[in-house]
Amino acid sequence: MRILAFLLVGLCSGQTFKSTTQLVVETVNVKDKSGKPIAGLTAKDFVVTEDGVAQEIKFFEYQKFDAVVPSSAIPSTQRIVPVPRLTRTQIAGDVHYRDRRLLALYFDLTSMPVPDQVRAFEAAKKFIRTQMSSVDLMAVMAFEGGAVQVFQDFTADRAKLLSVIETMIVGEDENAPRDSNDPNKADTGAAFGQNDSEFNIFFTDRQLAALQTAASMLGRLNEKKSLVYFASGLRLNGTSNQAQLQATVNAAIRAGVSFWPVDARGLVAQAPLGDATRGSSGGLAMYTGAAANAVTSNLQRTQDTLWTLAADTGGKALLDSNDLGRGIVNAQQATESYYILGYYSTNTNEDGKFRKVVISLPGQAGAGLDYRKGYYGSKVFSKFTSADKERQLEDALRLGDPVTDLTIAMEISYFQLNRAEYYVPVVVKIPGSELALARKGGAERTLIDFLGEIKDEYGSTISNVRDKVDIKLSGATAAELSRRPIEYDTGFTLLPGKYKIKILARDAETGRMGTFEMAFVVPNLNKEVLRVPISSVVLSSQRVDMREALFNASKDKEKQAQVSNPLVFEGMKLIPSVTRVFSKSKEFFVYLQTYQQESDVVKPVFAYVTFYRGQEKVFETTPMGSADAMSNRLKTVALQMRLPLAALETSEYLCQVTVVDPKGGKGAFWQAPILVVP
């Protein structure tokens, strides 16, 4: 889809006439009953409606691909000379490729070990040498050094493509001068549309966001694009990456890009208990088959995401195959002749609503059409009334795809209140730098609107929230915004079960919105008999006064929070680190609760924290015990630990919290990745 604005200025009369119109471009595959493309159609054969209103086709073109006949092959014995330095370029958005098939090779170098990279590069070289046809144009992209690099724009020059890939294999000349786009420079996060490095720390989100950036780059072209994605699997971290996954798929659909993932590991035959790169597991799992099943399950999970990316964008994943070049061939053969239709929408309302597009062929009975089913109109937030703004929030909450203009992160915890109910605190984090646009616009303050709901596993709404945060953008507060994020917290009382939460935030000054959606489980700790029943573990580096305006949405919540929120004690609130990035200069707080409702006498429990880097234990605290229970039927024992991080090196760690009940002979542990920064 392309949106064009036209401005006519009356020079003689001094008057300005402004008219905004939207040019909508659709690519349409038309096939007969046997699956073959139907050629020879004209614009008069198509009927296009938008929200039931007929549209006049103003732009029509047929992209015809002749029979795929490979050009003369480049002999494998012919030596390809690497270039001294790879050129960082861009996808040219002002070029029109008539009757050309566009294939982009995308190498995720951050996820592939060297052997997988070599296999992927060799597969690409083989395709370019022997299977690239005369109608194919190819581009070479890679994710490395924290950014998406375009090493070669679309070209038919096979020698140039081979030189680029050969240079990626052998490496660049260290003596060659580096340009300003050096991939080894610090990552600013700009490549992902996120402007705070703290929000780019989750590795899977970085990979998905980079893939979203690549799709957006290709979206500058109206033609259909196929992106062949080489990676060594891609595993989601539970439900934490669902929002970014949906955002990546949504961006690809808008850009007319289909993903064709290729698992560069090929056909994998794994040892039942793991290979020599990791220590053997212990316990009963070795003998029950659970350990072997876990190895197989972990491999399948890394392939499930690749399959999802392909299925949701119209591509096909190549898994468990040593012929990696087959993935490129599949993308090549799937892109057949198609039509490009363009029309100027008769709906000039800038309301941001979804517009349903229907394309039909009245004279072609039985013809199959494949095209995008609609688009979202442009938005002018400054013209919205109060009712329009409220309706926009409600519509955005109902959308299946998330809105990612505003970067947000979220953490959910649970603490048992009684035998039936659990308190579920929810913390939403927004980078303060996201409000820079409002500040640049001259605003002295802005409101952050929050709207959210929780649904159970059957889709019924259990609870919802509607709130505002008033943010000052002048004086000392504005200076703070550049250094620390905005946090909003709320809480719900829920029964044990499976739930899905969706939170939407909107900057009321600029209209930029962001959503975060995830599934979570509130366990029934009453049924925990093998381990010590524990609540969620909260990691933090901040305790703030309850009167801190930057962290409170509404002052009338203070009394309620002090009574029900376990993170509030002694008039101070413990602020969970949603992104789990911690500075060495600050203290590290750990908080959790244990429950002994079945015991007649409160037994002492002990907890300690361990930091791992890879398989190496780097640091471990001495056990801290407590036998002081709260005056409730659950006999709740709160465990609070604080420790300095100055002794740790700047690196990524796996933080493990272990809880031990010596008298009961039971224990429990919890793990999470963290990053320690200077």
Closest CA to 24 of 62, 59, 74: 59
| 251 lies in the same domain as 167 | yes
Q: What is the mean pLDDT of residues 258-281?
A: 76
| 519 lies in the same domain as 612 | no
* pLDDT over 70, % of the chain: 75
Q: For the segment 542-563, what is each residue's pLDDT rounded down to a tens digit?
A: 887 765 544 444 434 444 444 4
User: Which of 469, 494, 527 is the last residue before a domain boundary?
Assistant: 527
Domain count, the chain: 4
Any idea what the CATH number is for the domain that residue 276 is in? 3.40.50.410
> In this structure, are residues 589 and 565 in contact, taking their beta carbons and an 8 Å threshold?
no
Identify which of 134-143, 231-240, 392-401, 475-484 has the greatest average pLDDT: 134-143
User: Which of 509, 527, 545 is the last residue before a domain boundary?
Assistant: 527
| 326 lies in the same domain as 189 | yes
For the chain, the straight-line distance linking the first and the last C-alpha, in angstroms and rounded, comes to 44
d(CA 656, CA 498): 25
The partner residues of 259 in beta bridges, in order of sequence, read 227
Q: What is the mean pLDDT of residues 461-471?
A: 85
Q: For the segment 24-74, what is each residue's pLDDT rounded down to a tens digit?
A: 888 888 888 887 888 888 889 999 999 999 999 988 888 887 755 565 666
Any idea what the CATH number is for the domain that residue 558 is in? 2.60.40.3880
Closest CA to 243 of 428, 519, 436, 628: 519
Q: What is the mean pLDDT of residues 293-312?
A: 80
d(CA 352, CA 348): 11
Structural domain range at position 511 = 385-527
Q: For the segment 207-250, what is each residue's pLDDT rounded down to a tens digit?
A: 888 888 899 889 888 888 999 999 988 877 655 566 677 778 87
Residue 587 counted as domain residue = yes
Any idea what the CATH number is for the domain that residue 370 is in? 2.60.40
| 484 lies in the same domain as 554 | no
Q: What is the mean pLDDT of residues 437-466?
A: 80
| 538 lies in the same domain as 653 | yes
| 494 lies in the same domain as 623 | no
Burial of 453 (0-12, 13-18, 19+ CB in 10 A): middle
Query: Residue 138 phi/psi, 5° resolution?
Result: -125, 145
d(CA 537, CA 298): 24
> In this structure, are residues 371 and 27 in contact, taking their beta carbons and an 8 Å threshold?
yes
| 603 lies in the same domain as 661 | yes
Task: Output the CA–CA distances (angstroms, integers) from residue 579 to 24, 199, 409, in the order listed.
Answer: 39, 7, 7
| 414 lies in the same domain as 540 | no
Residue 620 counted as domain residue = yes
Residue 72 counted as domain residue = no
| 415 lies in the same domain as 498 | yes
Q: Report, in angstroms and rounded to the nearest whole number, the Rg of the chain calculated over CA atoms.
A: 28
| 539 lies in the same domain as 491 | no
| 329 lies in the same domain as 350 | no
> In this structure, are residues 657 and 602 in contact, taking their beta carbons and an 8 Å threshold?
no
Task: Output the CA–CA distances (angstroms, integers) from residue 169 to 114, 165, 301, 339, 371, in the order listed.
Answer: 9, 6, 29, 38, 38
d(CA 413, CA 349): 43
Closest CA to 454 of 497, 415, 508: 497
| 521 lies in the same domain as 563 | no
Q: Where are the alpha helices (DSSP H) in 432-484?
A: 436-440, 475-481
Whole-prediction pTM = 0.58
User: Which of 473, 503, 527 is the last residue before a domain boundary?
Assistant: 527
Residue 77 counted as domain residue = no
Task: Output the CA–CA distances (angstroms, integers) from residue 94 to 23, 369, 486, in the order listed.
Answer: 16, 28, 39
Residue 79 counted as domain residue = no
